[in-house]
A = this chain, B = another copy of it.
C-alpha cells in the first residue's frame, strides 16, 4: 500500500488539469429548475444533478481522477477502496475501464443495489460491520497483502481535485445565469466534494460560498466548523442518509472548509425524504436520502441561507426501491 503522509489539498491548477483528464468520462451535469420548488425555497433554486452521472453519483469524478493519476505499473497491480457504495462504484468503474483489478470493502448494511452494482462493475466486494469493524484497518491489510493502492473516499488530493471539477462546471453555469453571489449547498460526508467545489469556486466564482449539509445526529462537519476543532460522530449507524455518514471530516478537507465554507446546515432524515419526493415530482430525478440533504436544506432551512439564488448539489441516486416507494407514500 502506497503511503503518502504529507499530502496537501489540490490547487486550482490541479483541479483544472483533472477536468481535462475527466472530460469524455464523466457527465457535465445540468442545472435543473422548477418554479414549484422556487416557491417553497423562497428564492431561485438551481439543482446540479450529479445523480445523473454513470453509476449514479458524483463519485465517478474522484474515482476516475485518482485511478487515472496512478503510474501504469502501480495501477496494473490494482486498487482498493472502502466505501458505503457510491465511491465504490466510482472506483470500480474507473478501474474496469483502465483494466485494473479492484477490491471494494463495503459495510454489510449498505443498500443491496449498491453492493450488486459494484460487483456487476467487476469489483471484488469484501463486507464489514459498520458498528464493530474498522474499515481502514481491513482495507489496509488487504492492500498490503496484494500490493493494491488504496483510493481513499475523500482525504486524497486526486479525489478532492476530481470532485472539484463539479465546482468548475458550476462556476461556468452560474456565470451564464449571472448568479455571482449565492450559497452552494453540498451534501457532506467526509467533505471531499464540498472541499473540492470550494477550492474551484475560490478561484473561478469567489462570490459563491459552499455550505455543507448533513443529517441530524451525523453533523460532524457542522460541529467541527462551529467549534474550530475536528469533531466525531457518536455512532456510524442509524441514519437513512447512509451514503454521507463518515466518522469525522477529513484531515485535508476540514482545513479547506474552515477557510472557505459558511456555517454547516443540518436537516432531519424526514426532511431529506421529503426532498426526495419533491425531486421526484418537480425535477424528475431519483435521489437517495444522502443525496437529497442539500435540497432539503434549500427547501426547509431557507432562513439560514443568504441571497436570491441558491445552488444545490444533488449528489446521488442509488436508493433501494422499497425505501423509495415508502418515501413516495409518505411525502408525494
Pick the residue among B277, B283, B325 that contacts A52 (CB under 8 A).
B283
One complex includes copies of this chain to the number of 2
A28 at the interface (CB under 8 A from B): yes
Taking a contact as CB atoms under 8 Å apart, the answer to whether B284 and A280 are in contact is no
Q: Which residues of B contact A34 (CB under 8 A)?
A: 54
A268 at the interface (CB under 8 A from B): no
Taking a contact as CB atoms under 8 Å apart, the answer to whether B317 and A328 are in contact is no
Pick the residue among B120, B277, B281, B328 that contacts A36 (CB under 8 A).
B120
In the docked arrangement, what's the CA distance between A93 and B56, Å?
30
* Size bin of chain A's contact surface: 35 or more
Closest to A122 in B: B35
Q: Which residues of B contact A284 (CB under 8 A)?
A: 51-52, 56, 285-287, 317-318
A27 at the interface (CB under 8 A from B): yes
Pick the residue among B35, B51, B283, B287 that contacts A121 (CB under 8 A).
B35
New contact pairs (16) apart from A28-B30, A30-B30, A52-B285, CB-CB < 8 Å: A32-B52, A33-B54, A35-B54, A36-B117, A49-B52, A51-B284, A56-B284, A113-B281, A277-B321, A280-B324, A281-B321, A284-B317, A286-B286, A321-B328, A321-B329, A321-B332
Offer 17 A-B interface pairs, CB within 8 angstroms, sorted by A. A29-B30, A30-B30, A36-B117, A36-B120, A49-B52, A51-B284, A52-B52, A52-B285, A56-B284, A280-B286, A281-B321, A284-B287, A284-B317, A321-B328, A321-B329, A325-B325, A325-B328
